Structure 1
Amino acid sequence: VVRFARSELCIRVSVGGAVFWAWDGAEPMPSYAVAGEAPAPDPRAVLEPYKDGGWQVVSERLTVVVSRTGAVELRTPGGLLLRRELPPRWWEPVGGGPVRWVQRSEVPADARFFGLGGRAAGPRLRDGVYGLWNTDPGGRFGPGDDPLYLTMPVQVVVSDAGTHLMFHDNSWAG
């Protein structure tokens, strides 16, 4: 667990190489991504200090780097960047109302994205913003009518650095 001024980040690496990370007490189970029990943690993958006040977890298949500001990077064993998740940004309305947040990801420039369920534009995701909540437009629809009936928070990213699958297990509309 890495603690920040207003949040906590939990990182777990499984024996098989899967990485779980969550903010503010979220647990790996129950999960739509895992059938049955949670994968066993890899006892060799431990949190250790990294440069510039950050932390890292080195495993057999990848390295997870956490910056002092909360950005999470997935890197190959050779150090190539697969993905960078910027720290979540939260908004708490002054006059009350629901809390909102946004999560942004960065990947290598040559990366191609596939997934996120039924999309009007097809499985290859172009530049843009994609919601993970169903809208069910009904009848006819066009490329701008996303998301459709079933969104799946699974994303496959292919780049020269490597390929990875990301599952966003999240109960928030986003």
Structure 2
Amino acid sequence: MTEDFVRVDWKPGISPIPYAIARQDWQEVKTQFAETENGYSISSAKLKVIVKEDGSLKFCDSSGQILREELPPSRKSEGWLHQAQLRQEEQIYGLGERFSYLNLRAAKDEKQQPKTYRMWNYDAAGMYGPGSAPMYICIPVYLGLHSSGSYLIFYENSFDAYFTFGEIAVADFAGGSLRYYFTYGVPAQLLERYTELTGRAALPPLWALGYHQSKWGYRTEEKIREEAQAFQDRNLPLSAIHLDIDCQVGNRAFTIAPDRFPKLGSFTQELKELGVQFIAILNPGIKYSRHSNLFLEGQILDGFCKLPNGKLVVAPVWPGWCVFPDFTNPKVRGWWSRQYQYLLDVGVAGFWYDMNEPAAFIVWGDRSLPKVTQHYMEGRGGDHREAHNIYPRTNSSVSFGREYFTYGGEKAINSAYLPSYRRQ
């Protein structure tokens, strides 16, 4: 892809839909192909990849220094087991949001074995502490740092997976293909390549970098007015106030209670004159009711997630029994994006997304949708095992409109499986 950046594909497996990939137009790189003892090599001016007949790989820099050694991958019934040798001093960083050591290799389980990290977005619901796993944001990318340099690996696979980092780095995917990207250099160069591939954050408005206030209980204009004034009286900076679901009508998406916010347009302007932005909450669960316009519209669009028997997936969330938009369908993304407009028109400056891991109020087991839930997946089809970790990305993508990737004629923002507040 570049002289220091390669993509590796092992077959067979379900090819990933490029939700995570921002750049596709890589220029041709001059390479040399050679036969070696028990294998082959392909080289650029900066990087050599040696492939042995048994499927093991070595990545070397231009001087021949070995940067990473991979064992032959193992094909499981539907997924892949991928392993690489780690050096004794090697440190590992990444995998998204983890309640662990910064160096993931330092963490041990109760048996003093290397800790296992799961790739499965999970609504911890505030009930977490040291060692809790998984957490809200999972990203299958990590940086290895050792005495000979540093490298980065990103797996383009959204299926459930488990990572461990003992003497061997293990990535165990439940499904999908084994496609990953390798680059090396100093950490700043690694992040440059990774964000070139997966997309970079847009420059945010200045107010987004200020202090944001949020808590349960901002149910009325007067309560928010009092809070903003209290900051003013104490000469404390305040850039935004975030409202929780108690500002809504029955905890329903895209609603703000008109009896408690009777003059929302003038009220948001009043806050802006104080330098304060009004931020509303948004959940993807749509109340399962014929009295809900969103439900009726989504039904007409055939836009909600279903079980294999064709029945709607229904689960309890804040509004009660809810259905869930299938954001892997471009028609659904287009429909959802149109719901924001009237709130923007009255001065709502932004939205914070909740419960889009996706999460449901399940008292035992996985707090999400059934794994057999069917998804459109841009027309290819698939189930929740593949779609779960990209659900927040496809949900949050519809609220942006600057940098796009194109898939099947539909434009959608890239974010490498991240919620929108982390990456555009």
Q: One fold, TM greater than 0.5?
A: yes
- C-alpha contact (below 8 Å) 1:29/1:38 kept by paired residues: no
- C-alpha contact (below 8 Å) 2:122/2:134 kept by paired residues: yes
Structure 2 equivalent of residue 30 of structure 1 = 18
- C-alpha contact (below 8 Å) 2:3/2:45 kept by paired residues: no
- C-alpha contact (below 8 Å) 1:72/1:87 kept by paired residues: yes
Structure 2 equivalent of residue 129 of structure 1 = 116
Specify which of 114, 122, 125 is matched with residue 93 of structure 2: 114
Structure 1 equivalent of residue 4 of structure 2 = 17
- C-alpha contact (below 8 Å) 1:119/1:147 kept by paired residues: yes
State the SS of the aligned residue for 1:87: coil
Letter in 1 for 2:98: R
Structure 2 gap segments, 5+ residues each: 106-113, 162-424
Q: Structure 2 CA distance, aligned partners of 1:136 and 1:41?
A: 43
- The structure with the largest helix share of the pair is 2
Per mean C-alpha deviation after superposition, the further-off stretch among 127-136 and 64-73 is: 127-136
Q: Structure 2 CA distance, aligned partners of 1:38 and 1:103?
A: 28
**Structure 1 segment 90-101 matched on structure 2, within 5 A:** 90-92=75-77, 99-101=78-80
Q: Structure 1 CA distance, aligned partners of 2:120 and 2:25?
A: 25
Structure 2 equivalent of residue 59 of structure 1 = 44
Structure 2 equivalent of residue 49 of structure 1 = 35
Q: Structure 2 CA distance, aligned partners of 1:28 and 1:78?
A: 34
Q: Higher relative contact order at CA 8 Å, sep ≥6: structure 1 or structure 2? A: 2
* Corresponding position: 1:74 with 2:53: no
CA spacing shift, 1:28–1:139, aligned 2, 3 Å: closer
What are the superposed Cα offsets for residues 8-51 of structure 1, whole Å, 9 maximum, x if unpaired? xxxxxx2342110111168798362x423242231x21332112
Q: Aligned Cα RMSD in Å?
A: 2.4
Letter in 1 for 2:36: Y
What are the superposed Cα offsets for residues 52-95 of structure 1, whole Å, 9 maximum, x if unpaired? x2111112222111111111221122222211222221233xxx
- The structure with the largest strand share of the pair is 1
Moved >3 Å (runs of 4+): 25-29
- C-alpha contact (below 8 Å) 2:3/2:44 kept by paired residues: no
Letter in 1 for 2:71: L
Structure 1 gap segments, 5+ residues each: 1-13, 93-98
What is the TM-score normalised by the length of structure 1? 0.75
- Bigger radius of gyration, 1 or 2? 2
